[in-house]
Structure 1
């Protein structure tokens, strides 16, 4: 019996791999053609007007990016071809075809049958993968009209175990056929399977044992974007939205009246890191230019200077990117700027099927670890990888690890099983699977309701909660949970316009109004074991700027040299501290301020022209828009009993209002405190107004009416004079 040569064995295998890779590239080419046909900005399409800079910024990086994507398709096609080759062997005589004595026709028939069998096997495997992903992350396919009826059925009735069971049955059938034809003793097969199982269990146990050996100090800061504390059971919620957060609160102290100074992610995190108010940091809206940032020490820098490992991670960076000024030595986040906005358009669906694992995340992290790519990003797989990274980092030395979970932010696509939690099954598919933009325009109602929008928001919070649960469970499995200092917080709340029936169904917003819905946040602290367990709840007014001083205090590190925040350690130990007010200001949203406040100064443009794109692709706010944003901001102070607010008016005046207990010296003291925080004095010529502007008894002294440009300069500490279109330092 002749022994086949090595080349004779490898040649068919190599041919299959090359064929599979070629078919994968054909699929990549087909998806690329569809993307180009949809009018994708910046990819070999002439672009004029304001998008020219965007196109110019992304073109240099697109070729290398697409080559890496193409490589994923090629490798996936080759692996599918290899798997199909192995499975196809169960159906026929195998390598010794064609049969002896057969002519050319017999050989052609044998070859054709083999090719069709392998092709069928590959299509079945691909179909099983697509089936599973359509259930787990249906947003991957929800904008394909041809599959919407089938997708709707899967969303309603499909279960992840369905494709897994089908795959198991398919493989079992092939295993039976293979064993029957191979003649290998069944006892040998059983022994081999048992040895493999014991080896896998031993490997897993060894990994967990090694993780428990670490005992370095660990500080974990977890932020859940847009989490409103009224979703907690103790704060009036059902308790069904965030079960992992609820379990964490059993071990932590919850601050029931915690507030952010600005309800937008990038400026809120900058204030959190520096313990300074937004007008001090210079970061007062998303996409702030680097040149306008006023560098301040951060608590992350303090940890790094003390020899700690410092890591920041987030799955979305379009409107929140942490650079070196954050103080984190390691920053795990999607790319910054124009390329990230381009990626949202590069919906390579097969990439979400083939690369949603650790290897794919390492090769194309811009896609797999980027929440902006609906359906392609796997939030739970991301959380598992992040939890593993946290455990690994904490085992190498003292570690500060911060994670910002952004599931509840636009475009918000809930994955299985969260899209079945709260939105009724009777709602159309597009409302169940992804946030859609609806203008915040009075009287213009869409087909969505406020209740429906909040239900989708709750599903996304539940998804973020599951990610947080993965991180906390990893700490528990590794033995690091008890001795870790853990802070769980949100950067801002969310408004669904409950007080405005005429805005029913409009897109939610945060940072538009100084209100509890948008500015009250989640804040809970679990000290390390042995440092004492404080009260389960504290209702004193606290601010996000207090988080950094608290972490440094509890970790035994020096305080920041300048700080608007103060440590919460006395409250955590059951004591008290002197009441400290909150400074707050509105951000810059897609909503014109006069929508919520008739007569408000209209402020900045809400178009692409408000931004500029640097040669390196970074998108940042332009100078004119910057000046207008500062002029349109509402400012306020809150002391736990009253809100004092200032609103710029279209006629150039400033409206002063007080909400709450506004009688007596405390209200006047809060007004004076707001003046002092902003560096304003009565000599500024506009600040002191008797009573409230909307009070008919009020009289406006000379100078109370100023055009917005003059108000801007006064608030920036500049002398009153001719308008300056580029105020310094923001």
Structure 2
């Protein structure tokens, strides 16, 4: 009789578990119905590509299997708690099952409320139950009742209870935080090289931006002890393209990597890429990034190991699923790592992302290979749009402008990434990585918010043109999008801290590293030059200008208020899904190349070519923040501006889609700007 009742308890709890999964899934769709419907409508444009991809369908299928398996585990846990009530009391199977399942469900919801108060899974955050004391006490109670229930039930039905008991014990083991590793002795005969990228970090938001406090005190501390390049630029203000330029030391026109999510091919790589050169010298090379939706860099690019969430088009669909309570409960555990690789340590899943989990995984990877010198390239993406976080809280010290809510949230995220940066630095220091290292802190691009302080002034009252935009890579006249943080510490010979206003770019990092390691290194194939304040290089000269280009710039990025759905609607058609399940830019991107803005930056000017603009080039005097059409230039350096136009035309002369209006032709004959 008891065995029959135990079977019934198991079946009832499985029914409860699957029912609650369906109910919470429906609830999530209803709460975010407008967004879900709009996203579904947009996703329909590439749904056939997704469904036609074996890799993408496999990833989605594995997710569904993992979700069902998780709810089987939940049902098993509740069944053993229910078994305690069934065996030791006179209640029936339905009553025992209800009590057991409610206790387990309450445990899940309480922990979700504490860990993820800003998510749908954390809807109990403002209730009396959401306290650490209740969560810990409830955890001990449920574990105790499960253990007692298992012990009592297995005596009644050993075969029935053994298998779910073993599975449940394994799952509980994976929920326990990992133990500290025993670290090998660090290899010190070669210096380490560390590049820490911080997404969208604007240089003008470092330091004491507001009276009495800084948004980024830890990053400020690093910069103040570094050679800080205040006039640094990225050749393209998008993460994937910027990192590719940094690692290769070559312009996007040379590598062919012009857009985010461009399909990988071997021709993009060269044996001169930084990771390849350092691997040849015996380095263990690691690339780590906590948001992979728009950056497909992995082991194919020559790295020994990669840390981060799984790459794939399924990432775009599954990040909403993290707000299902059962998934949120395990999202940052070893169990979540195995079941939900698209969600684990994924900054794109902002509702459950824990920066400390990503940082610890990175440190664990580095610690395993201390018998070799290390090349670490890592990128932290907390400041990236949509500027949301699992427990983001307002800060009254930061002025709030109702016309600029995105900028306020961005500044909150800078505070969060500053803490993550320091945790990472402390960890690298603790395991000996920084003792003899060359350490760069950079940003891949800035960020545009169309702030009043960022606006350029027209040189003539009669002319108008959109000289700024939201986001990054959307307007080459928007210096706040292309100006980047670039600071370096040489911990082998001391910091030699100072500020340097030389015109530099991310392209200069690879040749700098190689010359720092070996003064005889061949750097002839690089577009960048070694940084003179870091290494001595006879015959090396810094660039007098830097060439930059936009990425995809949609009309939505120029509106006063950013509409995420409009951005998606205008951009989703540029992408497709490969048979392996990766989201990529469509290979036939000639139209995108024709739509690129291109510019050249010097100490004094930004000179830009906009496709479709027939009146001429645009000339910005950087120091004054003033712009003109080249034909109406009213500044006092027309010859310099004309020279830059010729340099711009020469650099992009063979680039597909450049200057279809023939604006460069008059400058072939040395005609100056409005002379």
Deviations 1:394-415 (A, max 9, x none): x232221211111222333223
**1:615 CA drift (Å):** 3.2
Give the counterpart of 2:280 among 305, 308, 324.
Answer: 305
The Cα shift of 1:119 comes to 4.0
1:4: which partner in 2?
none
Aligned to 1:511: 474
* Aligned residue number for residue 104 of structure 2: 122
Question: Does residue 465 of structure 1 match 2:418?
Answer: yes
**Does structure 1 residue 488 correspond to structure 2 residue 441?**
yes
| 1:454 and 2:407 matched | yes
Relative distance call for 1:34 and 1:67 in structure 2 (3 A) is farther
1:210 aligns with 2:203: no
Tell me by how many angstroms 1:498 deviates.
Answer: 1.6
Post-superposition Cα deviations, 1:374-431, rounded to whole Å, max 9, x if no partner, equal: 31333332222223323333x2322212111112223332233x42336989x9xxxx
Distance 1:696 1:365 in 2: 56
- Name 1:585's counterpart in structure 2: 549
The structure 2 residue matched to 1:373, chosen from 349, 366, 380, is 349
SS at structure 1 position matched to 2:343: helix
Deviation at 1:486, TM superposition (A): 1.7
Deviations 1:678-698, CA, capped at 9 Å, x for gaps: 3579x997524369xxx9968
SS of match in other structure, 1:367? coil
Match of 2:230 in 1: 256
Equivalent-residue separation in structure 1 for 2:92 and 2:300 (angstroms): 66
The residue number in structure 1 matching 2:245 is 271
Say which is worse superposed, 66-75 or 221-230, in terms of deviation.
66-75
| Aligned equivalent of 2:627 | none
- Mark the runs of 5 or more structure 1 residues left unpaired by the alignment: 1-7, 99-106, 178-203, 428-446, 597-604, 699-730
Aligned equivalents of 1:622, 1:175: Cα separation in 2: 51
Scaled by the length of structure 1, the TM-score of the pair is 0.70
Q: Where does residue 189 of structure 1 map in the other structure?
A: none
User: Paired residue for 1:53, among 38, 49, 53?
Assistant: 49
Say if 2:384 is the partner of 1:409.
yes
Secondary structure (helix, strand or coil) at the match of 1:689 reads helix
2:187–2:373 CA contact under 8 A, matched in 1 = no
Is the Cα contact below 8 Å between 1:231 and 1:239 reproduced in 2? no
> Hey, what does 1:283 align to over in structure 2?
257
If asked which structure has higher relative contact order (CA below 8 Å, sep 6+), I would say 2
Tell me by how many angstroms 1:164 deviates. 0.7
Q: 1:132-281 counterparts in 2 under 5 A?
A: 132-135=114-117, 138-141=118-121, 163-168=131-136, 207=180, 210=183, 215=188, 217-233=191-207, 240-281=214-255
Instruction: Indicate conservation of the 8 Å contact 2:346/2:353, yes or no.
Output: yes
From the superposition, tell whether residues 270 and 264 of structure 1 become closer, same or farther in structure 2 (CA, over 3 Å). same
SS at match of 1:227: coil
Structure-2 residue corresponding to 1:550: 512
Q: Distance in 1 between matches of 2:112 and 2:196?
A: 33
Structure having the higher Rg: 1
Residue 663 (structure 1) aligns with:
637
Give, in whole Å, the separation in 2 of the partners of 1:634 and 1:237. Answer: 38
Query: Displacement of 1:242 after TM fit?
Result: 1.8
User: Does the residue aligned with 1:344 lie in a helix, a strand or coil?
Assistant: helix
Deviation at 1:250, TM superposition (A): 4.5
Q: Is the 8 A contact 2:234 2:242 kept in 1?
A: yes
Per-residue CA shift, 1:325-367, capped at 9, x if unaligned? Answer: 6322322344444322222344552201223223312332111
Given the superposition, is the C-alpha separation of residues 85 and 306 from structure 1 closer, same or farther in structure 2, using an over 3 Å criterion? farther
In structure 2, distance between residues paired with 1:124 and 1:163: 13
Taking a change above 3 Å as real, the CA distance of residues 689 and 383 of structure 1, as seen in their structure-2 partners, is: same
Q: Matched residue of 1:368: which SS? A: coil
Match of 1:343 in 2: 318
Q: What is the CA-CA distance between 1:455 and the residue it aligns to?
A: 1.2
SS at match of 2:65: helix
CA–CA distance in structure 2, aligned partners of residues 265 and 523 of structure 1: 15
- For 1:112 and 1:569, locate their aligned partners in 2 and report how far apart those are by CA, in whole Å: 76
CA–CA separation in structure 2 for the residues paired with 1:173 and 1:295? 56
CA shift in 2, pair 1:514/1:18, >3 Å: farther
Name structure 2 gaps, 5 residues minimum.
146-176, 456-464, 561-568, 624-635
| 1:396 and 2:360 aligned | no
Q: After superposition, what is the alpha-carbon deviation per residue over 1:615-661, rounded to whole angstroms, capped at 9, x for unaligned?
A: 3333333466x22322232222222222222233344x642425248
Q: How far apart are the structure 2 equivalents of 1:127 and 1:595? A: 40
Q: How many residues align?
A: 600
Q: Judging changes above 3 Å, is the alpha-carbon distance between structure 1 residues 257 and 236 closer, same or farther for their aligned structure 2 residues?
A: farther
Q: Deviations over 1:573-601 (max 9, x none)?
A: 899974412111122133378879xxxxx
Q: Structure 1: how far apart are the matches of 2:406 and 2:8?
A: 52
Report the CA distance shift for 1:169/1:347 in structure 2 as closer, same or farther (over 3 A): closer
Relative to structure 1, the CA distance from residue 33 to residue 679 in structure 2 (aligned partners, 3 Å threshold; closer, same or farther) is same
Cα distance in 2 for residues equivalent to 1:326 and 1:13: 54
Give the distance between the partners of 1:226 and 1:238, measured in 2 at CA.
24
**Structure 1 residue 28 displacement after superposition:** 3.2
Q: Compute the RMSD of aligned alpha carbons.
A: 4.7
The structure-2 alpha-carbon separation of the partners of 1:47 and 1:663, relative to structure 1 and needing over 3 Å to count, comes to closer
Report the Cα offset of residue 457 of structure 1: 0.4
Of 270-279 and 471-480, the range deviating more from structure 2: 471-480
1:299 CA drift (Å): 0.4
For the 8 Å contact 2:529–2:542, the answer to whether it is kept is no
- Name the SS of the counterpart of 2:360 in structure 1: helix
Tell me by how many angstroms 1:217 deviates.
Answer: 3.9
- Aligned match of 2:61 in 52, 63, 66? 63
CA distance in 2, matches of 1:576, 1:535: 24
Alignment CA distance shift 1:485-1:623 (3 Å):
closer
1:175–1:592 CA distance, 2 compared to 1 (3 A): closer
Q: How does 1:312-711 map to 2 (within 5 A)?
A: 312-324=287-299, 326-350=301-325, 351-393=327-369, 395-416=370-391, 418-421=392-395, 448-450=402-404, 452-499=405-452, 508-528=471-491, 530-556=492-518, 558-571=521-534, 578-580=541-543, 581-591=545-555, 606-622=570-586, 626-651=589-614, 654-660=616-622, 663=637, 666-679=640-653, 686-689=663-666
CA distance in 1, matches of 2:517, 2:67: 44
- Alpha carbons 2:224, 2:497 under 8 Å: kept: no
